[in-house]
């Protein structure tokens, strides 16, 4: 059974979840991360097991909670968190457009020099930044809780070649139970994109079910980002 006592580190770069809906605003600098034209997930701060945790409910919806960052990417950053989901998606299909839903996922937003990207990727990113979002990251790691693929599976997103999907929990993962993760961001970025990022721009905790129209309820706790000593 996983010990639920929160870990405390003075150098944690992620602000603890102290305030948030339904009783107040999100603790700065946390903010909602929604996808235009999609129904947003419901995000709230709730008490569970004697601590405040992030709850995300997605009912044919998508969205997350973003912590902006501006950190040097060459350092050995370790991202750790606990998560749990109460139900699995039945119709999702890993890395496909029609089934691109995950009961829980964590994005890490990365910055790379445009010159380091393949020509077509560079041109697509320039256009996307011009017409949609000037803050669009050059690359993204997406850690997911999948309903079919085993842990260790990975693939590029069906929507973007700049997003690397990595399965951390698969169909055998227990429901309704806290599980702990720890990732070496530099190592994962090098494996996915060939080099360490220039900067780490943000971390997003999310859940989505907009493609399958299903309903999921997931929780996140003790989010930490620190340099490995």
pLDDT in tens, the chain (229 residues): 344 434 434 489 999 999 999 999 999 999 999 988 899 999 999 999 899 999 999 999 999 999 999 999 999 999 999 999 999 999 999 999 999 999 999 999 999 987 777 766 777 777 765 656 667 789 999 999 999 999 999 999 998 889 999 999 999 999 999 999 999 999 999 999 999 999 999 999 999 999 999 999 999 999 999 998 7
- What is the DSSP code (8-state) at residue 206? E
Check whether the bond before 29 is cis (ω within 30° of 0): yes
C-alpha 185/C-alpha 225 separation (Å) is: 10
Sheet holding 62-72, edge to edge: 31-33, 62-72, 199-208, 102-111, 139-145, 163-169, 154-156
User: DSSP letter at 210?
Assistant: T
Assign domain 43-114+140-153+164-227 one CATH number from 2.60.120, 2.60.40, 1.10.10, 3.30.460.
Answer: 2.60.120
- Quickly count: other Cβ atoms within 10 Å of residue 204's Cβ: 18
Q: What is the pLDDT of residue 124?
A: 74
Give the sign of the dihedral formed by CA 143, CA 132, CA 24, CA 16.
Answer: positive
Residue 90 per-residue DSSP state: S
DSSP H helical segments within the chain, as ranges?
Answer: 119-131, 185-193
Q: How many CB atoms lie within 10 A of CB 38?
A: 14
């Amino acid at each position: 059974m996983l010990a639920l006592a929160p870990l405390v580190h003075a150098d944690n770069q992620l602000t603890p979840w102290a305030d948030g809906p339904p009783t107040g605003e999100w603790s700065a600098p946390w903010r909602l991360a929604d996808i235009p034209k999609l129904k947003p997930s419901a995000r709230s701060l709730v008490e569970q097991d004697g601590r405040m945790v992030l709850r995300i409910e997605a009912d044919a919806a998508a969205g997350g909670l973003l912590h902006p960052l501006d950190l040097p990417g060459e350092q050995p950053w370790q991202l750790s968190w606990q998560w749990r989901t109460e139900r699995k998606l039945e119709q999702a299909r890993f890395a496909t457009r029609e089934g691109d839903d995950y009961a829980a996922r964590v994005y890490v937003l990365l910055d790379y020099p445009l010159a380091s990207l393949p020509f077509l990727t560079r041109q697509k990113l320039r256009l996307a930044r011009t017409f949609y979002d000037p803050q669009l990251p050059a690359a993204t790691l997406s850690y997911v809780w999948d309903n079919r693929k085993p842990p260790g599976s990975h693939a590029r997103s069906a929507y973007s070649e700049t997003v690397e999907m990595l399965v951390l929990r698969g169909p055998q993962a227990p429901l309704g139970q806290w599980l702990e993760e720890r990732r070496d961001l530099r190592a994962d970025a090098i494996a996915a994109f060939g080099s360490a990022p220039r900067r780490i721009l943000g971390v997003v905790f999310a859940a989505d079910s907009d493609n399958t129209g299903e309903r999921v309820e997931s929780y996140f706790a003790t989010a930490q980002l620190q340099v490995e000593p």
